[in-house]
Structure 1
Amino acid sequence: MKQKKYLILILSGLFFSITNSIHGNNPDKGNEKAKTITFRGIYADDPAGQEGLYNPERGLRLEIAVDIAGRKDVWNPKQFPDITSHLESESAIYASDSISLVQSYFYLTGFAGKELSEDAFATMDTYVNKLRESGKKAVLRFAYETAFMGRAGTGPTLEDVLRHMEQLKPFLAQNTDVIQVVQAGFIGAWGEWHSSFHGLEKTNDSKRTILEKIVWMTPENRMVQVRVPEYKNLINKEDQSYNRISFHDDFIVIKPHQWDGGMHEGTPYFNQIVEESPYLVVDGELPWGTWSMNEDPDNPEAGWVIDGKATARQLFLQHYTSLSAIHNYKEKGTKDKYSMMYWKETPLEESFLSENHMPISGNYFKNQDGSPATRNVFDYIRDHLGYRLELQQLKINGNPTAGKEISLDLSLINRGFSTLFNEHPVYFVLIDEQDRITEFLTETNVHDFQPYQPKDPECKPLLHAIKGQFIIPKNLETGKYRLGLWIPDGSERLKYNNRYAIRCANGDTEWWSSPDNKYGINILTSLDIIRH
């Protein structure tokens, strides 16, 4: 059935090669037909033009904490007495926010002083399998303690932590496909490297030992995030692991605060993140709205709405990949509205973005008739966290003839805050009238899709290219084909799952999913394949 359904080609140099020249050594060069197609961005009044564009490994994220020993939710065990129902509930609540990431806390509280059991790994498997089923990936953190300011009744020793990392390394290797990044937890309350029962954060030696072990535990093709640059700086810059360590700011408040870790603008730590972040997966969150916006008359910070425009600028400057949608958004507590709800009411002017050299997606501030469109801060942040690939132009050279060579040159601009990370191969595909698919792998490296050249003070958008020169198979049936761009997940487990394929931010291209949901493809144009 699969062979009838899809024509999957294993392409060698005989059939496919990438070249920097769109002509190459082509004996039929004089008979070539050239075709150029121009694409546009998404107008505000395009269908779904006001909605988020669902894409893997970027954007707003959820937050779920599971008790591995108890097989239940940490914070709401009565409401969610199993390992996955809270994830399902939150996915439904935030479905309109186009969320593909989940900060996933695995609490190992019940295993202090013990080995991780087979049941523990079975429980973790249940959770990560639910992530795959949901089309999501994990921002993964391990922790033990849930109490703040020394109120924990117990906690792991250094020996517990290191022993558990030894056990966890194979588990992470087996589930790399569903891991976006690993956060350096393990120590203290919520794994935030403070308030630990045994004082694991008290010396640089113990922190360095734990961080080095976390990097060792984490698959080599995934990064590790630390709470503040101070912890990263425990590692020698010459050490190979240094460049694998990124940041997650758990207290984004913009204005200086005693709890901001010395990371507000103008500090050395802020500048360090700006400098290093173009090449790193960066995550963060606002404080809880129930804290920052409470109505306690004794709290001088009562009613504190975090500045949306200034937050957008910081997320841009520090190349954020993801941001919590849980904090200061749809919380239930002392107020009906929190900071992000106010962001939805805060207009964002195109002039503000231009003045700050921030990305502006094509037609983002326009309607289809050319009239100006109003955009708000929340939508802009949602749409530009991580990558946002906007196709520009496709050049086709060569006759679409079975057995003959054709050359494709597709340009794009990344309008997002950051480049792409992890594994994402890039293919051109042909889809026939029976939905059978022929794949053509390119040599494109999506990690090179920087929004602008790092350190460019004007942040001018870069034009990137996806190029391919290949021979249309002789045995391909004649007829009308759709030519598409397919950017799947790089893992074998998720490659043929359309929820993990990347969708471009264009209002004049079709997003096509195969009937069996294996492919998610950006349709570029149609071709009539002929035969001599």
Structure 2
Amino acid sequence: PTPTPTPPAGAPIAVSYTANNAVIANPERGFYRHVGCETPLSQSQLTNFRTADGETLMLCVFYLREFVNAPISQAKLNLFQQQMDTVRKAGLKAIVRFAYNDNNNPADAKPAMVETHLTQLAPMLAANKDIISVVQAGLIGAWGEWGNTQNYGDSYNMTAQNQADRKRVVDKLLAVVPKERQVQLRMPLFKTKLYSPTALTALEAFTGTAKARLGHHNDCFLSNSSDYGTYINPSVEYPYLEAETKYLASGGETCAYTAPRSACPSALTEMGRFHWSYLNLDYNTTVLNNWKSQGCFTEVDKKLGYRFVMQKGSFSSTAKPGGSFVVNLTLQNQGWAAPFNGRDVELVFRNTATNALYRVKLATDPRLWLANQTVTINQTVTLPADMPKGSYALLLNLPDPQASLRNRPEYAIQMANTNTWEASTGFNKLNHTVGIAP
């Protein structure tokens, strides 16, 4: 049979947008709060972080101190679920790390027991993947930072057995952490030694391999020339990280103020170079206070992670139900990183009389809207066939892809533009109206 042609759309109408200069509380980016995760979290405290302070992330280091030589108790597992429930109710996401000891205590669990624990935690990681932003490898050494460990050897002089044991832990983590989520390692050395000496490429990114899922965190950022041992050979590791972190989660915390390395000029340069998405607001306060006095703190707050600014668009003026609709949209990522987790992009048509919504998914991936790049979306989409005749406001929606959060506006991405954001819906107004008629 002869196919029915898709009815053409009306001539596109141009729209322009104005950037704003505000700090935006967008999901999975920005300053995070380090909150003790061994006792029940306060929902009011977390909600206040989100609504009053504008933070969208918290770090949950979940210590398993009493289970170095035994399976995790059901009560402890229940506590982890309770913590995740509280994070979800508060509208935040969690950076999750499991560890056995802090205070520079080397006690940790042997690989077989770690695997037992991760098997126990697997269902909870799966059930809470919606509000887990990223998982840090943890588990080995004091604070789960892979140093000072009684079971895994010297980080800088790993034996073949040490390497095998550490890789065993990471392999198990990659198996139990949902495939949509990344795992971060504490030093570039660990990824290059245990997995691949070469940096992740654009073709390898987001393919689900270990190389594509292993990101980086630096918890002594800007402290000295090696960041207290984070780097072994910066001349090699800097270019490696610069390439890798275009497509991987990158973040951490500062730990000491050492001028000029910790000062604003180098801080801004390195966070941009290594595509930082998040940074601890609670530590080190000396570093952060110096940034405030030097005048770059607000810029850090704005540029951590992604910052999408719509510049211009043009959209069909009229269209038919089931017909074609032309969308041309240009935006720029003025942040230091792209989103590291998947996210949908959809046009939303809202009937101006009834407020009925009709959605069309766009073929674009925000994880590839890279830092400092201009993105152009030029597509002709097919409208839903059941759209009633009427006038429709056009909106852009970047919702969380998980069903539990998809309709929660605090988990949607806000564009950095004036007079476009709808806080009540999580939609970005495209400031265009289209007439739909058969």
**For the superposition of Structure 1 and Structure 2, which TM-score range results when normalised by the shorter chain?**
0.7 to 0.9
How far apart are 1:158 and its partner, in Å? 2.8
Deviation sequence 1:61-114 (CA, Å, 0-9, x none): 1112322xxxx2xxxxxxxxxx112x6436636855521111111111122222
Q: Distance in 2 between matches of 1:398 and 1:527?
A: 7
How far apart are 1:246 and its partner, in Å? 1.2
Out of 105, 112, 116, the position equivalent to 1:163 is 116
Out of 392, 397, 401, the position equivalent to 1:490 is 401
Q: Distance in 2 between matches of 1:286 and 1:250?
A: 6
Number of paired residues?
A: 419
Question: Secondary structure, in 3 states, of the residue corresponding to 1:283?
Answer: strand
Letter in 2 for 1:465: I
Does 2:14 match 1:36?
yes
Question: Secondary structure, in 3 states, of the residue corresponding to 1:424?
Answer: coil
Greater shift in the superposed pair: 231-240 or 435-444: 231-240
Does 2:48 match 1:92?
yes
Question: Secondary structure, in 3 states, of the residue corresponding to 2:143?
Answer: coil
Contact 2:306 2:336 in 1 (8 A): yes
How far apart are 1:212 and its partner, in Å? 2.1
**In the alignment, which residue of structure 2 is the partner of 1:447?**
367
Residues 345 and 57 (structure 1), Cα distance of their counterparts in 2 relative to 1, 3 Å cut: same
**In the alignment, which residue of structure 2 is the partner of 1:121?**
77
**In the alignment, which residue of structure 2 is the partner of 1:9?**
none
**In the alignment, which residue of structure 2 is the partner of 1:285?**
253
Residues 396 and 263 (structure 1), Cα distance of their counterparts in 2 relative to 1, 3 Å cut: farther
Out of 169, 173, 176, the position equivalent to 1:210 is 169
Greater shift in the superposed pair: 95-104 or 484-493: 95-104
**In the alignment, which residue of structure 2 is the partner of 1:267?**
235
Q: Distance in 2 between matches of 1:96 and 1:64?
A: 17
Question: Secondary structure, in 3 states, of the residue corresponding to 1:463?
Answer: strand
Q: Distance in 2 between matches of 1:306 and 1:434?
A: 55
Residues 199 and 451 (structure 1), Cα distance of their counterparts in 2 relative to 1, 3 Å cut: closer
**In the alignment, which residue of structure 2 is the partner of 1:341?**
289
How far apart are 1:401 and its partner, in Å? 4.8
Q: Distance in 2 between matches of 1:377 and 1:414?
A: 19
How far apart are 1:244 and its partner, in Å? 1.5
Contact 1:405 1:472 in 2 (8 A): no
Deviation sequence 1:336-361 (CA, Å, 0-9, x none): xx222232232xxxxxxxxxxxxxxx
**In the alignment, which residue of structure 2 is the partner of 1:529?**
435
Q: Distance in 1 between matches of 2:281 and 2:51?
A: 11
How far apart are 1:304 and its partner, in Å? 8.8
Out of 426, 433, 437, the position equivalent to 2:345 is 426
Which structure 2 residues correspond to residues 129-278 of structure 1 after superposition, within 5 A?
Answer: 129-148=85-104, 151=105, 154-199=107-152, 203-237=162-196, 240-253=209-222, 255-257=224-226, 259-262=228-231, 266-278=234-246
**In the alignment, which residue of structure 1 is the partner of 2:376?**
464
Q: Distance in 1 between matches of 2:315 and 2:427?
A: 18
Contact 1:253 1:260 in 2 (8 A): no
Contact 1:396 1:409 in 2 (8 A): yes
Q: Distance in 1 between matches of 2:95 and 2:310?
A: 28
Letter in 1 for 2:230: G
How far apart are 1:472 and its partner, in Å? 5.7
Q: Distance in 1 between matches of 2:129 and 2:50?
A: 25
How far apart are 1:243 and its partner, in Å? 2.4
How far apart are 1:270 and its partner, in Å? 2.2
Q: Distance in 2 between matches of 1:136 and 1:429?
A: 25
Letter in 2 for 1:484: L
Contact 2:327 2:377 in 1 (8 A): no
Contact 1:63 1:104 in 2 (8 A): yes
Does 2:343 match 1:437?
no
Q: Distance in 2 between matches of 1:188 and 1:313?
A: 31
Q: Distance in 2 between matches of 1:427 and 1:105?
A: 35
Contact 2:397 2:428 in 1 (8 A): yes
**In the alignment, which residue of structure 2 is the partner of 1:77?**
none
Letter in 1 for 2:371: P
Residues 121 and 402 (structure 1), Cα distance of their counterparts in 2 relative to 1, 3 Å cut: same
**In the alignment, which residue of structure 1 is the partner of 2:280?**
324
Q: Distance in 2 between matches of 1:133 and 1:379?
A: 28
Q: Distance in 2 between matches of 1:258 and 1:326?
A: 19
Q: Distance in 2 between matches of 1:476 and 1:91?
A: 40
Q: Distance in 1 between matches of 2:148 and 2:244?
A: 28
Letter in 2 for 1:234: K
Letter in 2 for 1:495: R
Deviation sequence 1:16-47 (CA, Å, 0-9, x none): xxxxxxxxx65546xx33200011211x4xxx
Out of 511, 518, 531, the position equivalent to 2:421 is 511
Residues 197 and 471 (structure 1), Cα distance of their counterparts in 2 relative to 1, 3 Å cut: closer
Q: Distance in 1 between matches of 2:275 and 2:378?
A: 23
Q: Distance in 1 between matches of 2:188 and 2:436?
A: 59
Which protein has the larger Cα radius of gyration, Structure 1 or Structure 2?
Answer: 1
Contact 2:276 2:336 in 1 (8 A): yes
Residues 531 and 279 (structure 1), Cα distance of their counterparts in 2 relative to 1, 3 Å cut: closer
**In the alignment, which residue of structure 2 is the partner of 1:399?**
318
How far apart are 1:513 and its partner, in Å? 4.0
Residues 276 and 522 (structure 1), Cα distance of their counterparts in 2 relative to 1, 3 Å cut: same
How far apart are 1:274 and its partner, in Å? 1.1
Q: Distance in 2 between matches of 1:208 and 1:530?
A: 57
Deviation sequence 1:111-149 (CA, Å, 0-9, x none): 22222222222211111111111111111100011121x
What 5-or-longer segments of structure 2 have no aligned partner? 199-207
How far apart are 1:163 and its partner, in Å? 1.2
Residues 63 and 57 (structure 1), Cα distance of their counterparts in 2 relative to 1, 3 Å cut: same
How far apart are 1:477 and its partner, in Å? 4.4
What 5-or-longer segments of structure 1 have no aligned partner? 1-13, 16-24, 73-82, 294-300, 330-337, 347-375, 453-460
Letter in 1 for 2:370: Q
Contact 1:131 1:178 in 2 (8 A): yes
